[in-house]
Structure 1
Amino acid sequence: MGYPLHGCLTFFCPCVVFGRIAEIVDKGAISCCASGTMYVMQALGTTAIGSIFYHCCYRARLRVEHGLEEKPCADCCVHTFCGYCALCQEYRELKSRGFDMHAGWHANMEKMGKTVAPQMNQGMTR
C-alpha cells in the first residue's frame, strides 16, 4: 500500500490507521480493532485535548522505541495541528521498518522469525 493509498485511508478511516499503529506499538497487547474503537470513542466522547494527548502518547512511544528525534516540533503539536499527517508519518515509519501494517503484531513477529509470548485469554472465571 503506497503513500497515496494509506493517505486516503488515513483521511477517510483514521481509526483503522491508528488501530494498526497502536497494535504494533503495543506489541499486540491491544488489538487493532480495540485501538481503532478507542480512537473513535476518544474523537466522539472526550474533549479534543484528551484525544490529542492519547494519540501523541503513541507517537512518543514509537519515537522512543526506535530512537527517533522529536522534530520538527513536539509530538503533541504534530497531533494537534495535523493529526492526519502524524498518523501517515507513523504508519510509514513502521512500514519502512519492515512491518506489514495489515498483518498485525503477531503475524509480523512470525514473519520476522521472532517468538512472542502466548496471549492469555482473560475470560470469565468461576
Structure 2
Amino acid sequence: MNSSSPNDNKAEKAPQPTNNDAQPATAAASSSDSDSSKGQPGPSNQPVVAVPPQQAAFPTWSTGLFECFDDIPTLLITFFAPCVTFGQIAEMVDRGQNSCGLYAMLHAGILYFTGCGCLLSAYYRIKMSQIYKLPNDPLINILVHLICEPCALCQEYRELQARGFNMQLGVGWRNQTPEIQQTGGVMVPPKVPGGMNR
C-alpha cells in the first residue's frame, strides 16, 4: 500500500534540467565576458576605451621640510642669522615693496626684543602659501616656524629658487629677470609618477 498522494507522484516525475540545457546560458555569459574583455564594440557599437583614473593634483612644496642639508651654505646662514634669509624671502613675496635689509632689520628687532621673530616669518609663510597655492593651513605653518624656524625658512628659500628666483644675496627683486617680475615666479610642474610600463 502506497501512502503517497497523487501530488507527490507529479513532483517526482517533473523533468529535471540536464547539463545540456544549462550550458548555452553559461556559454553565452562567458562569450559576452570574453568580448568585453577584448575591447570589442558593445551594444552601442562604440569601442570601449580604457581611460586611466584621474589623479587629483594636491599642492605640494617642491622640497621637503627637512631637506635643508641639500643646501649647506643657506642652512648655515639661516641657522646663525635667520633674519638674512627671512629678508630675502619677504622681499620676493612682497615683490620688492621693501628691501631685504629692511625686512632683515625688522625680523632681527622683533627677535631681539620679544624672541618671537618666528611669528613674523610664519605670517610670510602663510602669505607665500596663498600666492603659490601651497598647502595652506595657518596653524601648521605657524607651528612649523615655532618648532623649527631654520628648516621652514630654508624650505621657503628653496621653493623660491625652484620657481625661478635668483636668491643670491644682493640680487634682490629689482635685479630679477623681467619674466619673474611679471609672473612673480614660474609655477613648478606637479610631480607625476613614472610613465606606463608594459
TM-score of the alignment, normalized to the shorter chain, above 0.5: yes
Q: In structure 1, list runs of 5 or more residues that go unmatched.
A: 116-126
Out of 107, 128, 131, which is 1:65 matched to? Answer: 131
| CA distance in 1: counterparts of 2:131 and 2:181, whole angstroms | 20
Of Structure 1 and Structure 2, which has the larger fraction of its residues in helix?
1
Q: How many residues align?
A: 111
Q: Residue 77 in 1 paired to residue 157 in 2?
A: no
Larger RCO (alpha carbons 8 Å, 6+ apart): 1
Q: Secondary structure at the match of 1:105?
A: coil
Alignment-mate amino acid for residue 155 of structure 2:
Q
Out of 97, 102, 127, which is 1:29 matched to? Answer: 97
The TM-score, its normalising length taken from structure 1, stands at 0.79
Q: Which runs of structure 2 are paired with 1:47-58 in the superposition (5 Å)?
A: 47-48=115-116, 51-58=117-124
- Provide, for residues 17-63 of structure 1, a one-character-per-residue CA deviation record: whole Å limited to 9, x for no partner: 01100100111001000000011101011252xx3321111000111
Out of 107, 110, 114, which is 1:46 matched to? Answer: 114
Greater C-alpha radius of gyration: 2
Q: Go from structure 1 to structure 2 and tell me whether the alpha carbon gap of 1:53 and 1:13 turns closer, same or farther (over 3 Å shift).
A: closer
Q: Residue 92 in 1 paired to residue 158 in 2?
A: yes
Q: In structure 2, list runs of 5 or more residues that go unmatched.
A: 1-69, 184-198
Out of 175, 178, 186, which is 1:110 matched to? Answer: 178
Q: Which 4+ runs in 1 deviate beyond 6 A?
A: none
